[in-house]
Structure 1
Amino acid sequence: MKRKTVDLHMHSGYSSDGTFSVQELFRQAKENKMQAIVIADHDTYEAAGEAEEEARRTGILTIPALELSCIDENRMVHILGYGIDTKGKHSLLELIEKIQKSRIDILPKIKENLEKEGFYVDMEEVERLAYPHPPVITNFANAILNDTRNAGNPKLSIYRQGGSKSDRPYIRFIKDYLVAGRKCYVPEYIVDIYTGIRAIREAKGVSVLAHPGEWFTKKDEPKIPRMLECGLQGMEVYTPYHSVEKEVYFKQLAEKYGLFQTAGSDYHDEQKKPGHVMGMIKAADMEMFLRLKQMIETAHAEEKKQYAGGINL
């Protein structure tokens, strides 16, 4: 596949499971002749200010964004929020603050559960991987799989080279041990998908379902009208998570409900997420980026108009 010049979904070190600084991502983007990139970190938009500065310096376009963690029927769901108001006070900001606090509170119990399963857990390493943010389950997976004390653990052989789950070892480990319904899962503060979509809308953002193929099935389709009422505007159709069959399904679904189709690599770094490479996704182009930018400008204009009407300007 030829690298695209636009990528609407990647992560910086402001994500607890990210690797590269904002500056490094733009350096890589420049090297790869990218025209536009979007940093959408997990449950934070701290990268926005630095990204704007790098955009001015490099000429690579960008918009502020985040990837919000939500829940639906005990499944983790991610919603991309594009063009959010990064300086205002709104429910999205309050939501993010509660999520971060909760993640600190549950750390001891996650460690305890993983140790009961026979894994060595080096909390200093977990915290180092997450710094300067509270650790998340990805940090635990990274620390455990890379700890030499766990090298001979037979439970981890399937995630090692040649194992049945070695294609995406960190993601597979998380799904086996650390998500809802698994032995080591510890509930954290999290809101349902509808509340998350409304919070993004209140923050003047455009909400897009991130890599829906990771959780969405045909039985979930009746939920879309309610999501639309809450403010859903798009769906990430093109992503390394989707097979060709899933691409076709979600493209048809997006067309059926009038959802804007986006494309993103979910790039962290190639070791953490093999196959997730900057710009290596289908369909992404400047037309997609500019259309998204226009949707954001429309959302901000409508918010301003409503505010003006409310105070009789």
Structure 2
Amino acid sequence: MIREQSYIDLHMHSRYSDDGEFTPKELVAQCRAAGIRIMSVTDHNCAKANAEAERAAAQAGIKFIPGIEIDCTYQGVDFQLLGYGIDYRDTAFTKIEEHIARQNREASYQRLRLINQLGFHVTAEELGAISAGDYWPQSWTGEKFAQILLSKPEYSDHELLKPYRPGGARSDNPYANFYWDFCAQGKPCYVKIEFSPLAEVIQIIHATGGKAVLAHPGLYFDHIHLLAEMVALGLDGIEVGSGYHTQETSAYFYQQALAHGLLVTGGSDYHGTTKPAIRLGEYVCPLPEKEIEARLEAAGLLA
């Protein structure tokens, strides 16, 4: 898949995400080096990166849109919504963060038990060691399990891990792909966390001055029939351009955005080490970046 370089990247994660690598200031520096002129930091269920990133972006001459990525549920399906232009200081985002954090420790231990039931041996001590210093130290994600498992010599020939090793079918983003294959909803090591209802998350984003955008919709192809209902609940936009989308996928969701009158956005979903194939500003989108910028401005997201 050939990704195109854009000067707009509205989907990236800092260390305030449980799977991000860099500080907000480091992300801004990387964006400047990559020629990105419009950016947003969209951490998982946490808005704390925005203050630092906004200051650094202003100093770097980069237009900054405050953001967040919130896990939510609709019709029994887990989705992720991007909130753009939010008042990131609002206590509603602190409550969302605390709601998820309260569940993470128990969910992490359940995930550990399920991973080991696959025939592996991972310990809480190993997970604690690689999580030390993280903003979310009690969140043992599928990516962290993959990091440990793929580093163990005794599993060098394990059949379940072969797809994630160099040359394997899932080796482009091995840690993240392990998460999607084993720990995502419907997979053998999935642990349910009580996310807020989608309608409630849309209301929070709107109440704090933001726009609600469906993240990487290509990951939800099996449930895209729910899109019209989401729009009726107040969904404002769709992430047509994504580091995960092929040209065909992006073209399909661009048509969906047109049909429903939705804002079109684009972002790489850059994390760093956990997704090495994803690079800042690289994604496919049929809408030219100049037009994306114009629509962002029309939506009141660019000062």
- Fold shared by both chains (TM-score > 0.5): yes
Alignment partner for residue 150 of structure 2, among 145, 153, 160? 145
Task: Normalising by structure 1, report the TM-score.
Answer: 0.85
1:34 aligns with 2:36: yes
Give 1:87's aligned amino acid.
R
Alignment partner for residue 237 of structure 2, among 234, 237, 243? 234
For each residue in 1:196-245, what CA deviation from the matched residue of structure 2 results, as whole angstroms up to 9, or x when unmatched? 2222222321010111010134x633x33432232211001111211222
- Alpha-carbon distance in structure 2 between the residues aligned to 1:220 and 1:195: 20
Aligned to 1:193: 198
SS in 2 for 1:67: strand
Deviation of residue 73 (structure 1)? Answer: 4.8
1:80 aligns with 2:79: no
Give 2:238's aligned amino acid.
M
Give 2:299's aligned amino acid.
M
Aligned to 2:269: 266
Instruction: Give the aligned CA root-mean-square deviation in angstroms.
Output: 2.4
Give 2:258's aligned amino acid.
E
- Alpha carbons 2:87, 2:208 under 8 Å: kept: yes
Cα 1:126–1:139 change in 2 (3 A) is: same
SS in 2 for 1:10: coil
Taking the TM superposition and a 5 Å limit, the aligned residue runs for 1:207-286 are 207-217=212-222, 220-221=224-225, 223-269=226-272, 271-281=273-283, 282=285, 283=287, 285=289
SS in 1 for 2:149: helix
Deviation of residue 76 (structure 1)? Answer: 3.1
Which structure has the greater CA radius of gyration?
Answer: 1
- Alpha-carbon distance in structure 2 between the residues aligned to 1:170 and 1:137: 7
Taking the TM superposition and a 5 Å limit, the aligned residue runs for 1:118-197 are 118-127=119-128, 128-129=130-131, 131-133=134-136, 134-135=138-139, 136-197=141-202
For each residue in 1:153-212, what CA deviation from the matched residue of structure 2 results, as whole angstroms up to 9, or x when unmatched? 332112111223223322332222212232222211213333322222223210101110
SS in 2 for 1:99: helix
Unaligned 5+ runs, structure 2: none
Give 2:187's aligned amino acid.
R
- Alpha-carbon distance in structure 2 between the residues aligned to 1:220 and 1:30: 35
- Alpha-carbon distance in structure 2 between the residues aligned to 1:87 and 1:293: 22
Taking the TM superposition and a 5 Å limit, the aligned residue runs for 1:5-154 are 5-90=7-92, 92-127=93-128, 128-129=130-131, 131-133=134-136, 134-135=138-139, 136-154=141-159
Q: Which runs of 4+ in 1 moved over 6 A?
A: none
For each residue in 1:10-60, what CA deviation from the matched residue of structure 2 results, as whole angstroms up to 9, or x when unmatched? 111111101111121111122222212111011111101101110222111
- Alpha-carbon distance in structure 2 between the residues aligned to 1:293 and 1:138: 36
Identity %: 33
* Deviation larger for 54-63 or 39-48: 54-63
- Alpha-carbon distance in structure 2 between the residues aligned to 1:18 and 1:125: 19
* Deviation larger for 152-161 or 236-245: 152-161
Task: Normalising by structure 2, report the TM-score.
Answer: 0.87
- Alpha carbons 1:194, 1:230 under 8 Å: kept: yes
- Alpha carbons 2:86, 2:205 under 8 Å: kept: yes
